[in-house]
Structure 1
Amino acid sequence: MVVSNELRTSELPTEGLELGAFEQAGQEAFARLSRDFNPVHLDAVVARRTLFGQPIVHGMHLVLRALETVSGLLPSVAYARIIARFHRPVFLGERLFLQVRPTENGLDLTYVSDGTQLTTISLVARRPEFGDPDWSMAVDHCRTSPREFSIEEMQGYQGVVGLPQKPAEIRAFFPAASQTYGTNRIANLLGITYAIGMEVPGLHSMFATLTVNLLDGVGSDLQFLAKRVTPKLSHVQLQFQSEALSGSSETFVRPRVGAIDFATCRKAVTDGEFRGRCALIVGGSRGLGLLTANLLGAGGAEVVITYRSGEEEAKAAIAVMRENGVAASAIRLDVASPAEAFAGLGSDGISVTDMFYFATPHIFVRKKRLFEDHLLDGFISNYTTNFLSVVEEAKQLAKGGLAVFYPSSDALNNPLKDLAEYYVAKMAGEAVCEMLNRYDDEVNVTVSRLPRLPTDQTATLMNVATDDPVAVLLDICRTMKSRRPNLPNTP
């Protein structure tokens, strides 16, 4: 494919060079090399609480993988300027292609998956390779966990990153790019991802753009500065400077939805108002499910929460409730196959009066068409088939009938194109609930189209008005009680 260091695009596949997929082991190795251990890249449980819903690939890993690929195609050719734009996140396991297009003085590179453009990188100002001279390494004083502070505190925040003391590992990880650009420049680029992911914005960082000018010098550290902060837009502009590069990046602070603590819930309820109830909260280890569990527990109900993957979160939530005198427990439940979990509850003698169904997949997903079959099937399964299976199992543990809460969304009143499958599935779920209420005497289903509430999935970079989740869910808990006439009339 290379003749006289000129790229023949006619010899490249039309869909781009297939790069395969990034996997967990590669994520962890890159994190060790760069010291960027931000959990959004490594921890599936933490990442599910973000707007991405799952771990994402480091933006700098994409840049360096592209440099490695191009350096393999064009030995001895380097570029003095790198401009990257991270349009959409890259997830683990995605089949990736790198499209390469020569420009007047460089290359335009595009990461593509399933026809969707994810990241674009422009390499500008072609020049001979930089070489790989020896360089002194700084004392390594790096954080082991990401910094977390308010966006207002980020203005003017600055520091110095000691570059990774791993030239041999850098060469092993990116051999062609190290030969072309030198391990010192690669180390500087690794310093940038450390600065963003671990220092500022830190824990809740989101990489948007990068512009870097590569210089002829070498050095042992990288300076960074939060030059401009715009809290209203959750935006932080960073500047970088070292002997080997100068540059800037546009980053954002991912929205955070803090859990409402048990003490707040206790203040909201009337003492003992839910005594005599035993509530099963499906998906109760976080978000609205956990808030519901805390409200019911604070009001005297026995609470059983379920989780699918967040065991530690569930254990922590139960510990807090028990410390506050609540009879609380947690079980692992996969709503697609609930029988085993319910068998365990039955053997424990649990008698359920209420069931709240907060199980949900990630709603905002990347797609190409109005309706994607696999998405529609997944949403339908979760909101109808799996819901019915859980109801049937819960009925076996109920005495005197089962009160069920099914959360829908007032967003159904104004559907968005990108959420077509979600809307169809939720409407199907509402129809299922109507049929249960009409023809199943053992259940009484309350359906509520909830207003916009602050959750992991509704959080945005812009400040958007939301309703008070405590008031909304407490009203639902009280409504559920009124629909069970056989419950004792407690205060």
Structure 2
Amino acid sequence: MSDRLKGKVVLVTGGSRGLGAATAEAFAGQGADVAISYAASAEKAEAVVAKLREKGVRALAVKSDQAELSSARPLIDAVIAEFGRLDILVNNAAIAVQGQLVDDPELDWAAYDRQWQVNVLGTIANTRAAAPKLSDGGRIIFVGSALGSVIPFPGVADYAGTKWAVAGYAKGIARDLGRRNITVNIVQPGIMPTDMAADVAGELPDRDAILDMHPIRRIATLEEVADTICFLAGPSAGYINGQAINVAGGIDI
């Protein structure tokens, strides 16, 4: 435990599992009060909240389906009603639909369209709702993907496209919000040990071949990525703005 972020309030979207849960715990470990959003499992979300409270911080779970754009403003309002402020927004919630080529006649249009809705439009809606209420000097961190910088294999065009889109959006709002000393950055992980990664693993090319592309031949730990997010939210990163930081073992070298 540390008090590096004591007094700060952070919202981690998609915080009931995987990287979102690890990030919420990392923030709590640095003294921040933490809200998480979740789309489906209240049980998983409350289990995360219980762990956060064990660290001596205030914590809240808010059900908010990012596919429903109208849910963005009530989410932000719920956080501010509970904590009185919002200092840090971590745009983590996303889905992954991968494996089909763009010219596949059997392309699952509905699933791929939902991916754009959740990953891009839902993320933008949350950001727009949060921006006017975010504390001056605050932070916004987008969780992107290394596929937002490099495309090492086929079958990921739409997923990669959503991550390139939010990276471009993040750089734009870094310009918009810089006058308020709000920094906006993108953390782009590579392969991680998450449920989402496991769900699409069978649709990807040979895993060993993918790892061979990395100078550091292993997957990222959730803690490594979460710690990077926390660093960008902290006092030492106040002049890092509009940057995309890959935590991917050097795959884009």
Distance 1:311-1:477 versus aligned 2 partners, 3 A rule? same
Please say if residues 278 and 301 of structure 1, whose CA atoms lie closer than 8 Å, have aligned partners that are also in contact: yes
The 5 Å alignment of 1:73-472 reads 271-335=2-66, 336-337=69-70, 338-364=72-98, 369-370=103-104, 373-412=109-148, 413-441=150-178, 442=180, 443-459=182-198, 460=201, 465-472=218-225
Please say if residues 102 and 155 of structure 2, whose CA atoms lie closer than 8 Å, have aligned partners that are also in contact: no
Name the structure 1 match of 2:227. 474
1:205-256 per-position Cα deviation (integer Å, ceiling 9, x unaligned): xxxxxxxxxxxxxxxxxxxxxxxxxxxxxxxxxxxxxxxxxxxxxxxxxxxx
Task: Give the helix-richer structure, 1 or 2.
Answer: 2
Distance 1:275-1:376 versus aligned 2 partners, 3 A rule? same
User: In structure 2, what is the Cα distance between the partners aligned to 1:285 and 1:439?
Assistant: 30
Distance 1:349-1:277 versus aligned 2 partners, 3 A rule? closer
Task: Give the strand-richer structure, 1 or 2.
Answer: 1
User: In structure 2, what is the Cα distance between the partners aligned to 1:279 and 1:318?
Assistant: 13
Once the two structures are TM-superposed, the CA of residue 274 in structure 1 deviates from its matched residue by 2.0
User: In structure 2, what is the Cα distance between the partners aligned to 1:449 and 1:398?
Assistant: 23
Please say if residues 96 and 159 of structure 2, whose CA atoms lie closer than 8 Å, have aligned partners that are also in contact: no
Structure 2 segments unaligned to the other structure (5+ residues): 212-217, 240-253
User: In structure 1, what is the Cα distance between the partners aligned to 2:56 and 2:168?
Assistant: 39
Report which structure shows greater RCO (CA 8 Å, sep ≥6).
2
User: In structure 1, what is the Cα distance between the partners aligned to 2:25 and 2:192?
Assistant: 17
Once the two structures are TM-superposed, the CA of residue 372 in structure 1 deviates from its matched residue by 5.6
User: In structure 1, what is the Cα distance between the partners aligned to 2:144 and 2:135?
Assistant: 26
User: In structure 2, what is the Cα distance between the partners aligned to 1:341 and 1:409?
Assistant: 24
Distance 1:280-1:439 versus aligned 2 partners, 3 A rule? same
SS in 2 for 1:309: coil
Once the two structures are TM-superposed, the CA of residue 368 in structure 1 deviates from its matched residue by 7.7
Once the two structures are TM-superposed, the CA of residue 283 in structure 1 deviates from its matched residue by 0.5
User: In structure 1, what is the Cα distance between the partners aligned to 2:162 and 2:89?
Assistant: 20
Please say if residues 144 and 188 of structure 2, whose CA atoms lie closer than 8 Å, have aligned partners that are also in contact: yes
Please say if residues 380 and 428 of structure 1, whose CA atoms lie closer than 8 Å, have aligned partners that are also in contact: no
Once the two structures are TM-superposed, the CA of residue 373 in structure 1 deviates from its matched residue by 4.5
The structure with the larger Rg is: 1
Distance 1:445-1:342 versus aligned 2 partners, 3 A rule? same
SS in 2 for 1:303: strand
Once the two structures are TM-superposed, the CA of residue 345 in structure 1 deviates from its matched residue by 2.8
Equivalent AA in structure 1 for residue 8 of structure 2: R
Please say if residues 144 and 187 of structure 2, whose CA atoms lie closer than 8 Å, have aligned partners that are also in contact: yes
Distance 1:451-1:366 versus aligned 2 partners, 3 A rule? closer
- In the comparison of the two structures, how many residue pairs are matched? 216
Moved more, 403-412 or 357-366: 357-366
Distance 1:432-1:294 versus aligned 2 partners, 3 A rule? same
* Percent of residue pairs identical: 22
User: In structure 2, what is the Cα distance between the partners aligned to 1:398 and 1:429?
Assistant: 19
User: In structure 2, what is the Cα distance between the partners aligned to 1:456 and 1:339?
Assistant: 28
Once the two structures are TM-superposed, the CA of residue 376 in structure 1 deviates from its matched residue by 4.5
SS in 1 for 2:197: coil
Please say if residues 193 and 222 of structure 2, whose CA atoms lie closer than 8 Å, have aligned partners that are also in contact: yes
SS in 2 for 1:279: strand
User: In structure 2, what is the Cα distance between the partners aligned to 1:403 and 1:318?
Assistant: 22
Q: What's the TM-score, normalizing by structure 1?
A: 0.40
Once the two structures are TM-superposed, the CA of residue 375 in structure 1 deviates from its matched residue by 4.4
SS in 1 for 2:158: helix
1:403-426 per-position Cα deviation (integer Å, ceiling 9, x unaligned): 111112223412432221111121
Distance 1:311-1:392 versus aligned 2 partners, 3 A rule? same
Please say if residues 289 and 358 of structure 1, whose CA atoms lie closer than 8 Å, have aligned partners that are also in contact: yes
User: In structure 2, what is the Cα distance between the partners aligned to 1:478 and 1:368?
Assistant: 37
Equivalent AA in structure 2 for residue 449 of structure 1: Q
**Root mean square deviation of aligned Cα:** 2.6
Structure 1 segments unaligned to the other structure (5+ residues): 1-265, 486-491
Distance 1:368-1:406 versus aligned 2 partners, 3 A rule? closer
Distance 1:473-1:349 versus aligned 2 partners, 3 A rule? closer
SS in 2 for 1:399: coil
Distance 1:342-1:468 versus aligned 2 partners, 3 A rule? closer
